[in-house]
Amino acid sequence: MQRLVEVIRRAQVDRVVAGEYGVQAQAKAAAPAVMEHVTELAGEAGAGGAGEAGRRCAPGGGADVDDLGDKVERKAHLHLHVLEEMSEAELEALAAGGVWPERYRGWRC
């Protein structure tokens, strides 16, 4: 009986080392599905090559998706405290022609 247990353990170790059992085998089995998902995110899959990245970047595109492909709810909040800092003339120029004061040009939030 002890010899049988030793033979089985040795066979298990050999399979683990060969990548036929355990984490390495799981990674090999999952690799095709993972690569398909990554390829789709990169925009190389599907008809026309749009992929998930193409849908994300399209105007009015699909759901907002993070780098891992998970859908993410995003909310944008715009606080216009800068308007309080602007003069009447600057506010009129912004309202009339969308012209921001020089100190705010190139400024990104």
Provide the residue-wise pLDDT of the chain in tens; the chain has 109 residues.
889 889 988 988 888 787 777 777 788 888 888 888 888 877 754 444 445 544 444 444 445 666 666 777 777 666 778 888 889 998 888 889 888 888 887 766 5
Listed residue (72, 62, 68, 71) closest to 41, CA to CA: 68
Q: Is the pTM of this model over 0.85?
A: no
Give the tokens for residue 51: 């992929």
d(C-alpha 81, C-alpha 18), whole Å = 63
The three-state secondary structure class of 106 is coil
**Which are the contacts of 98, defined by CB distance < 8 A and separation ≥ 6?**
none
In this prediction, residue 44 carries a pLDDT of 53
